[in-house]
Chains A and B, each alone.
Chain A
Amino acid sequence: MKMTGQEMEQKSEVAAKIIRNRPERLLHIASGLIRRSQAITLLLILIALGAFLSIHTRTFLTPTNIFNILRAFSWIAISAFGQSMVIIGGGIDLSCGSIMAFSGIITAMFLAHELGVIISVVAGLGLGVFLGYVNGMLISKAKLPPFIATLGMMSIARGFSYGLTGGWPIRSLPKDFLFLGQKDVPILLWKIPLPVILMVALAIISFIFLNNTRYGYHIYAVGGNEFSASLAGINIHRIKVMMYILSGFLTAIGGILMTSRLGVAAPTAALGYELDIIAAAVIGGISLRGGEGNLWGALIGAAIMQVLRNGLVLTGFPAYWQPSAIGVVIIVAVMLDQLKKR
Chain B
Amino acid sequence: MNTVPSKGNETIPDSGARHILEMKGICKYFGGVHALEDVDFELYPNEVLALVGDNGAGKSTLIKIIAGVYTPDRGEIYIDGKKVEIHSPLYARALGIETVYQELALVETRNVADNFFLGREPTKDRFGVWVDKRKITEMTVSTLKKLAITIPSLKTAVRYLSGGQRQALAVGRAIPWGGRIIIMDEPTAALGVEESVKVLDLVGQLKKQGASVIIISHNLVHVFDVADRIFVLRGGKRVGWRLKPETNGDEIVKLITGAELL
Residues of A bordering B, CB below 8 Å? 32, 212-218, 220-221, 223-225, 227-234, 290-292
Contacts and interface: CB of A to CB of B under 8 A. Distances in A.
Contacts of A213: 129-131
10 contacts: A32-B155, A214-B128, A215-B129, A220-B114, A223-B109, A224-B108, A225-B109, A227-B103, A229-B118, A234-B118
Contacts of B128: 214
Contact of A228 (B93, B99, B106, B129): B106
Contacts of B99: 231
A232 B101 CA distance: 10
B119 A229 contact: yes
B84 interface: no
Contacts of A231: 67, 69, 89, 99, 101, 103, 105
A232 B110 CA distance: 14
A214 B131 contact: yes
Say what secondary structure dominates the interface of chain B: loop
Of A227, A232, A234, most B-chain CB atoms within 10 Å: A232
B109 A220 contact: yes
Contacts, number: 75
Given A225-B107, A228-B107, A217 B114 contact: yes
A229 B101 CA distance: 12
Contact of A233 (B103, B119, B129): B119
B93 A224 contact: no
A231 B114 CA distance: 15
Contacts of A220: 107, 109-110, 114
Given A216-B131, A225-B105, A228-B105, 14 more contacts: A32-B155, A214-B129, A214-B131, A217-B131, A224-B107, A225-B106, A225-B108, A228-B107, A230-B89, A232-B120, A233-B93, A234-B118, A291-B108, A291-B110
Interface in B117-133: 118-121, 123, 128-131, 133
Contact of A221 (B118, B123, B133): B118
A104 B144 CA distance: 53
Contacts of A227: 103, 105
Given A229-B119, A231-B89, A232-B105, A212 B130 contact: yes
